[in-house]
Structure 1
Amino acid sequence: MQLSVIILNYNVQYFLELCLLSVQSAVENIDAEIIVVDNNSPDGSCAMVRERFPHVKLIENKQNSGFPKGNNIGVAEAIGEYICILNPDTVVAEDTFIKVLAFAKKQKNLGIIGVKLIDGAGNFLPESKRGVPTPWVAFTKITALYKLFPKVVCFGKYYASHLTKNQTGQVEILVGAFMVVQRQLYKDIGGFDEDCFMYSDDIDLSFMALKKGKNNFYFHETTVIHFKGESTIKDETYMKRFQEAMNFFYKKHFKVSMLFSIFMKLGILFFSFVKMFQGKSKIKNEIEHFVLFSKDKNLANRLNTVIKKNLDFRDLNAEKLVFLESNANNSPVEIILDAHFVTFKECIGFMELQKNNNCTFKIIPKNTDFLIGSDNSIERGTVIKIGV
């Protein structure tokens, strides 16, 4: 078997459903298996998987054992030559795995492959490619030197600025939302370190691959949506676990002075508070204009009864997936993409194209009664029931 896709889920039923639909399409022409490991979700995720995706191997944990252990459980059941660690709040294109596997087979001494990630508004996520957060690199991140002096090479290592978002090349650290690695290498490394509950596990796995003498790659030729924040509410528990994760990585891999340890603790505390408050809801401009791309006029009528605002129906029987008018007054526009008639690859490309046009996006997955999406990378996403 070529590929095993491991999806660790906790309490994100609707995002998991969308993710599985995209993965299902992406492995149609690949000898692959899909494994969902559920960390004791109370939201009906397991029932949904059993009903809608009976071919998916479902592992139901009796407790939330964290990201590392949950993924290790999934990999232990996998039989693919390659494994993909995939978040449930992601959407892959139909050709994502074909492209990544073709690239993987051309590499010698391969470590881990990551891809270009965008958030639910189409914006590039810089954590798609990173450097090892050594004390110095961490210092440039915490003090925002990489933002103040973006052209200074020694300040840009945290986000691997030697590569642009549209360049494929070697990097040190990749993000756990999407990682492709040979199953044997994953086992040789020891998998995710279960002493870390979450948040620095992907940094540690990437670093362990480097220590094995392997080459990690950022691959820009396919894009994956990562809605972010769906499995975690950024509250006091988040802050505590983030601090623990950073402390775990430094204690495991670096020897630092007492003075720097104190500085790092203060920096981690500050950075954690920033992240926590980033997750709080913000006042948004109310959307008055909606655009539906579909071939289903009845769907447009149903949405009209739910949204009760200006809905522009773009009939894909008569026109292409193109946002024809420029948003001259820069008013907020919500674009709704019907995945019955728009491929996931088209959804992703359209989001990237329209990202600077004050647009938000929602997707209606096939054979569902909801639309789903996320307006930015720091808040929980939105699920709206539309009926059948």
Structure 2
Amino acid sequence: MDISIIIVNYNTKDLTKKCMESIFCSATNYQFEVILIDNASHDGSINLFRNFDFDIRLVENDRNLGFSKANNQGMRVARGRYILLLNSDTVVQPDTLDIMIQFMDDHPEVGASGCKVVLPDGTLDKACKRGFPTPSATFYYVSGLSRLFSHNPRINAYHCGDINEDQPSPIDCLVGAFMMVRREVIDEVGVLDEDFFMYGEDVDWCYRIQQAGWVNYYYPKTHIIHFKRASSQNKPYKITYEFHRAIYVLYNKHYKKQYPWWVNTLMYTGMGAKLAAALTLNTFSKITHKMKS
């Protein structure tokens, strides 16, 4: 088995179906398997995928375990020499698997790779090529300075502004929407950290992979389409909370010991203020929506 493609489904039946159909329509001679982990969906997903047109391995959870735990379930039964984490709201191109597997075969020093990720409007999903969220990179990003100096490698380190979106390049951080990882890497650094529920696990994994001496690589010779939902002011509280909790877990795990107390204090204060602002905005949006309806 060349590659095991792991998809986590949670109430995204139609998007997941479209994603898997794009995989099985791939023009590839490589052997692949699709492992679908369903996190207790209640939208009819199970009935659909139990009788799916193509051969898949379906794992049915009785509750929503989150992104990290579900992907780890898939990795533990995967047989491929490469593991591909693929979001359910993506569509691969016919050549995507061939190009990315061939690239990994030709570059044994690369531990994890990602292709170009494009939004439905044709623009780049900037999360597919990122630097690590160090305090300085985070400051420039949150302050808006990274947008003013978008091509400055220091100020726009968060989105690697000095790297053209069509330029293959080693990179700090890939995105979990499409992340191909070598089996030997997983054996060495381990699976996803399950302290992360649904955000931050890709950044943490990339950090550990790089720390172990492997290269993370952005390879935009092929692309996928990511039907990423635009930011909404009516996000569920749990999603908002988990996003900000992931920032805290990531900083605590990898950066706290590297910086003096005053930097840590500023970072933690900023995280708390951002969470409070997001929750307040959510509440206000819900009240406004109810008043209008």
Please give the TM-score of this superposition, normalised by the length of structure 1.
Answer: 0.68
The one-letter code of the counterpart of 2:36 is V
1:262 aligns with 2:262: no
The answer for the alignment partner of 1:144 in structure 2 is: 144
The answer for the alignment partner of 2:254 in structure 1 is: 253
SS across alignment from 2:158: coil
Contact residue 89 and residue 227 of structure 1 kept, 8 A: yes
Contact residue 11 and residue 41 of structure 2 kept, 8 A: yes
SS across alignment from 2:36: strand
The answer for the alignment partner of 1:100 in structure 2 is: 100
Query: How much has 1:275 moved relative to structure 2?
Result: 10
Change in 2 beyond 3 A, CA 1:271/1:101: farther
The answer for the alignment partner of 1:239 in structure 2 is: 240
1:48 aligns with 2:51: no
The answer for the alignment partner of 1:164 in structure 2 is: 164
- TM alignment of 1:93-242, pairs within 5 A: 93-229=93-229, 234-242=235-243
Question: How far apart are the structure 2 equivalents of 1:155 and 1:100?
Answer: 30
SS across alignment from 1:26: coil
SS across alignment from 1:154: coil
The one-letter code of the counterpart of 2:237 is E
Question: How far apart are the structure 2 equivalents of 1:85 and 1:275?
Answer: 30
Question: How far apart are the structure 2 equivalents of 1:220 and 1:4?
Answer: 21
Query: How much has 1:8 moved relative to structure 2?
Result: 0.9
The one-letter code of the counterpart of 2:268 is K
Question: How far apart are the structure 1 equivalents of 2:187 and 2:44?
Answer: 32
CA RMSD of aligned residues (A): 2.2
Query: How much has 1:38 moved relative to structure 2?
Result: 0.6
Question: How far apart are the structure 1 equivalents of 2:281 and 2:21?
Answer: 32
Change in 2 beyond 3 A, CA 1:218/1:277: farther
Question: How far apart are the structure 2 equivalents of 1:168 and 1:276?
Answer: 41
Deviations 1:88-107 (A, max 9, x none): 00000011010001111111
Query: How much has 1:136 moved relative to structure 2?
Result: 1.2
The answer for the alignment partner of 1:298 in structure 2 is: none
Question: Highest CA radius of gyration, 1 or 2?
Answer: 1
Deviations 1:310-351 (A, max 9, x none): xxxxxxxxxxxxxxxxxxxxxxxxxxxxxxxxxxxxxxxxxx
Question: How far apart are the structure 2 equivalents of 1:71 and 1:21?
Answer: 20
Unaligned runs of 5+ in 2: 287-293
Question: How far apart are the structure 2 equivalents of 1:203 and 1:149?
Answer: 24
Deviations 1:236-290 (A, max 9, x none): 2222111210110111111233432332234335555569969x89xxxxxxxxx
Change in 2 beyond 3 A, CA 1:276/1:96: farther
Query: How much has 1:146 moved relative to structure 2?
Result: 0.7
Unaligned runs of 5+ in 1: 282-388
Contact residue 137 and residue 158 of structure 1 kept, 8 A: yes
Contact residue 12 and residue 88 of structure 1 kept, 8 A: yes
The one-letter code of the counterpart of 1:248 is V
Change in 2 beyond 3 A, CA 1:277/1:122: farther
The answer for the alignment partner of 2:12 in structure 1 is: 12
Deviations 1:206-242 (A, max 9, x none): 0010011001100111111111239x97232222111
Of 144-153 and 232-241, deviating more is: 232-241
Question: How far apart are the structure 2 equivalents of 1:88 and 1:61?
Answer: 16
Aligned length: 279
Change in 2 beyond 3 A, CA 1:89/1:271: farther
1:2 aligns with 2:24: no
| Aligned-residue identity in percent | 33
Question: How far apart are the structure 2 equivalents of 1:70 and 1:16?
Answer: 15
